[in-house]
Amino acid sequence: MRKHIFGPVPSRRLGLSLGVDLTPTKTCTFDCLYCQLPQTRFHTSERQTFCNPDEVLSELKGVLADITKTDWITFSGTGEPTLSKDLGYMIAETKKITDTPICVITNSSLIHLPEVREALLMADKVLPTISSVYEKTWQTIHNPAANLKLKDVLEGLRIFTKAHKGASEAEIFVCPGLNDTNEELKSLSDYINSTGLTSIYLNTAVRIPLRKDIIRTATPEELEEYKKKLEVQIPVSTAFEHMQVPKNESKSKKPLEETDITKLILRHPSSDEQMARVFGVSKEEIAKITIGLKQKDLIEQDPKSGYWALKN
């Protein structure tokens, strides 16, 4: 049974992405208001070895032999991948077993550490998050672990993006009322123009956020307005331009199991329809499994969006 590898799942920004999760569920330096996962269980900024990297590599080799296609191998998952001390080793070793490009999705919180930058420099693409250049806003949105400071993150991200040969696309998570004032946008634009970032992706809470009492989804018009006000010289796209989840063209030789569904919705709460696209099967086939999991009281469905999520 797979422990660390999930997918490949169709991703709005990456096409088909095979995920590698190096941290235990919800181990993160942040506890973001907009997170689509349950509250952070291990809130830490201490880098550690969480799993045996050679075991993960052997699982990865097995999955690569089983699937027919993936566009990216992506280090991400249910927490912050740079918390893993083994990230650099994993990227280097993965490059030895496949030509598939490697991406890391990071919240940027540890990018001030030279050893984290060194690991990230090996990735073909890095997707860092930066949602504000104001300490107070950053603290409010992300609830970082106690010793983390935004000024270190900003400087680390600047150094990294200038040195990185691959693509670095920053995600700005737009939280209406929190980080969308003219002052926020002006300062963020100035900062972005001082980095080597190659593009910007404006995201918003398209799935149910952790603090739905505070976080509201920005409308397509609000994201367009934000985009217009961002005075940067690099391409900017929005979540609504990437709404359609691409079809999964990768086939596994194994039949779909309950754990394939639970592993996906642990990371991405999804509807039957979305999962049918992800796994390349019919909606009815997915519904048979989700109904079974519901009867076992393992998952629940949001009545408004139809998204399934694991029961806490």
Give the H or E element holding residue 185.
helix 182-193
**What is the token pair recorded at 311?**
């029961």
3-state secondary structure 63-100: HHHHECCCCEEEECCCCCHHHECCHHHHHHHHHHHCCC
**What's the closest the beta carbon of residue 195 comes to ligand SF4, in angstroms?**
20
**What is the token pair recorded at 221?**
């018009």
Contact between 269 and 36 (Cβ < 8 Å): yes
108/248 with CB nearer ligand SF4: 108
Contact mark string toward ligand SF4, 60..79, x via CB under 6 A: -------------------x
Tell me the window of 13-21, 24-32, 111-119, 242-250 that interacts with ligand SF4 (CB under 6 A): 24-32
**What's the closest the beta carbon of residue 109 comes to ligand SF4, in angstroms?**
8
Tell me the window of 9-17, 33-41, 148-156, 287-295 that interacts with ligand SF4 (CB under 6 A): 33-41
Contact between 16 and 10 (Cβ < 8 Å): yes
Compute how many residues bind ligand SF4; rule: CB under 6 A. Answer: 10
**What's the closest the beta carbon of residue 37 comes to ligand SF4, in angstroms?**
5
Does 35 engage in binding with ligand SF4 (CB under 6 A)? yes
205/276 with CB nearer ligand SF4: 205
**What's the closest the beta carbon of residue 35 comes to ligand SF4, in angstroms?**
3
- φ and ψ at residue 199, rounded to 5 degrees: -165, 170
Name, in order, each residue with C-beta under 8 angstroms of 249's C-beta and a sequence gap of 6 or more. Answer: 16, 68, 69, 280
List the interface residues with ligand SF4, window 113-152 (CB under 6 A): none
Q: State the sign of the Cα–Cα–Cα–Cα dihedral 3, 78, 252, 57.
A: negative
Say if residue 42 is exposed, middle or buried (CB neighbours under 10 Å; 0-12, 13-18, 19+). Answer: middle
**What's the closest the beta carbon of residue 104 comes to ligand SF4, in angstroms?**
13
**What's the closest the beta carbon of residue 97 comes to ligand SF4, in angstroms?**
27
Does 80 engage in binding with ligand SF4 (CB under 6 A)? yes
**Radius of gyration in angstroms for the set of CA atoms belonging to the chain, rounded to a whole number:** 19
Does 37 engage in binding with ligand SF4 (CB under 6 A)? yes
Q: Checking DSSP bridges between strand 308-310 and strand 299-301, what pairing results, if any?
A: antiparallel
**What's the closest the beta carbon of residue 79 comes to ligand SF4, in angstroms?**
6
- The residue within the footprint of ligand SF4, chosen from 32, 90, 170, 185 (CB under 6 A), is 32
22/37 with CB nearer ligand SF4: 37
Does 171 engage in binding with ligand SF4 (CB under 6 A)? no
Does 30 engage in binding with ligand SF4 (CB under 6 A)? yes
**What is the token pair recorded at 74?**
């992506």
130/289 with CB nearer ligand SF4: 130
Annotate 129-156 with b (16+ C-beta within 10 A) or e (fewer). bbbbbbeebbebbbbbbeebebeebbeb
80/272 with CB nearer ligand SF4: 80
- The residue within the footprint of ligand SF4, chosen from 6, 9, 31, 117 (CB under 6 A), is 31
| Interaction site with ligand SF4 (CB under 6 A) | 28, 30-32, 35, 37, 40, 79-80, 107
